[in-house]
Amino acid sequence: MGLDIAEMVMAVERAFHVRLPEEELARIRTVGELYDCLVQQLGIVGVPSQRGPYEGELWERYLDVIETDTGADRRRLTPTASFVYDLGLY
């Protein structure tokens, strides 16, 4: 995990008051995968929104953190966006 991604993960951890497991972080490649890990650590069971897993208040707050920390254009922050290839983080 590169420095940019490590700093972004720490920003997510601070914003949501969680510690994300290192062994899971090693496998995360996309915006959606990190969000799924966060949801799991928060202990949310089922879909956090009636509209789908990547919608709703928690998703928007998560995107706020990612956007603020990385400076990435929010329109590019889709669940399948790769931190390295799509957002240019290392």
69 CB contacts (<8 Å, ≥6 apart)? 7, 8, 11, 12
Dmax over CA atoms of the chain, in Å, equals 35
* 88 located within any domain: no
Based on the number of CB atoms within 10 Å of its own CB, is 9 exposed (0-12), middle (13-18) or buried (19 or more)? Answer: buried
* 87 located within any domain: no
- Domains: count for the chain: 1
Please state, in angstroms and rounded to a whole number, the distance separating the CA atoms of residues 45 and 59: 15
* 17 located within any domain: yes
- pTM recorded for the entire structure: 0.90
* Res 89: pLDDT: 92
Q: Which domain holds residue 43?
A: 3-76
**pLDDT one-digit tens code per residue, 28-76:** 999 999 999 999 999 876 655 556 789 999 999 999 999 999 999 999 9
